[in-house]
Amino acid sequence: MPAPMTPKERVLAAFARQEPDRVPLNYSGNPGITARLLAHFGLAAEDHEGLLQALDIDLRGVGAPYCGPKLHEDLPGRSVDVWGIRRRYIEHSSGGYWDYCDFPLKDATVEQVAEWPLPSPDDCDTSGVRDACRRQERYAINGSAGFGDIINGNGMLRGMEQTLIDLVTDDPAGLLLADRRMAIQIEVTSRILEAAQGGVDFLWLGEDLGTQIGPLISLAVFRKHIRPRYQRFCDLARSHGLYVMMHTCGSSSWAYDDFVEMGIHVVDTLQPEAKDMSPATLKKRFGDRLAFHGCLSTAGPLAYGTADQVVETVRQTLEVMMPGGGYCLAPTHMIQDNTPTENVLAMVQAAHEYGVY
């Protein structure tokens, strides 16, 4: 058995495709399930760090909050953020969620996109980054100022249909929006890394590339519009000696060979029900070149099964993904509010029981 590791050592060993003392753990959840877990552990409603400690989570993050002027007016029945993205609250049987709506740049011209107010990096406060890194120095720290997320990020302002049309037709308005958004995120990320003074360990990027049954875009479109823009993030990470983790929902393994060439080290989400995304397929095809973070479906036993079924799913997943190292156990996305509290606890317990090397 390997000697006990700190959370940072554990994650970095996994990212390097080595065997740590145990499989690292991560958590992401919607407000409803998070509130129930906080209550279960007797924690205050805002004590998210306490929850991460209670769940024995190995990863953390630092950021640079926007502190500049208000850029977009409030609208009745809407939440409007600093990017001008609009959301409306939709209730459902187990809670609710903020649904993207209105898409104010759907029919925008190049000139209108160029004039759309976006946050300045000068108004993003990095003054607390170094102290945050010190407080969390035991953990593996993500220092990215945003996923990048061209398809979803543009889609929140232009709508998904128009965003995909933009990529296929080389629409200059859509491409300009992507470039403006990503330039801000890259600059803020660069400032975070400088402020961190070596305290950051990896950048967590993201671009949803698949549906449940196949690619969302072609490889040609990916190579023309997606890959070159993310290469700037990868180059920035390389210049600081950092790992890069890429979040991709759906059937996305068709892009992983390119990921390796770009300098991406870890792939995240890994929805096992999507085409060509089973743990066995990923481990066999890419286990010698990529590390993995995810695989626990938020639409499977975690949400709809019993605690025993969750334990068995975790056990089977670890049996495939653990050999040789290179795996972090995590949900495939934010755990949804319809997930029983006991199932999340079962996931963590099973990771400790079956995830030890």
Report how far residue 167's alpha carbon sits from residue 224's, in angstroms, rounded to the nearest whole number: 9
Residue ranges of domains in the chain: 7-68+110-354
To which residue do tokens 């805002």 refer?
A: 46
Assess contact for 282 and 241: CB atoms under 8 A.
Answer: no
Q: What is the DSSP string of 239-274?
A: HTT-EEEEEE-SS-GGGHHHHHHHT--EEEE--TTS
Contacts of 235 (CB under 8 A, 6+ apart): 263
- List average pLDDT for each run of 10 residues in the chain, which is 357 residues long: 90 98 97 96 98 98 98 97 97 89 98 98 98 98 96 98 98 98 98 98 97 98 98 98 98 98 98 98 98 97 98 98 98 96 98 97
Contacts of 37 (CB under 8 A, 6+ apart): 29, 51, 54, 55, 341, 344
Predicted local distance difference test score (pLDDT) of residue 1: 67
Find the helix packing angle between 341-354 and 31-40, rounded to 10°. 70
Report how far residue 33's alpha carbon sits from residue 24's, in angstroms, rounded to the nearest whole number: 21
Predicted local distance difference test score (pLDDT) of residue 17: 98
Predicted local distance difference test score (pLDDT) of residue 3: 84
DSSP character for 123?
A: G
Q: What is the DSSP string of 285-348?
A: HHTTT-EEEEEE-TTTHHHHS-HHHHHHHHHHHHHHH-TTS-EEEEESSSBPTTS-HHHHHHHH
Predicted local distance difference test score (pLDDT) of residue 2: 72
Kindly indicate whether the domain formed by 7-68+110-354 is annotated with CATH number 3.20.20.210. Answer: yes
Assess contact for 139 and 191: CB atoms under 8 A.
Answer: no
Predicted local distance difference test score (pLDDT) of residue 134: 98
Predicted local distance difference test score (pLDDT) of residue 34: 97
Find the helix packing angle between 307-321 and 341-354, rounded to 10°. 40
What's the half-sphere exposure (Cβ side, CA atoms, 13 Å) at 201? 23
Predicted local distance difference test score (pLDDT) of residue 179: 98
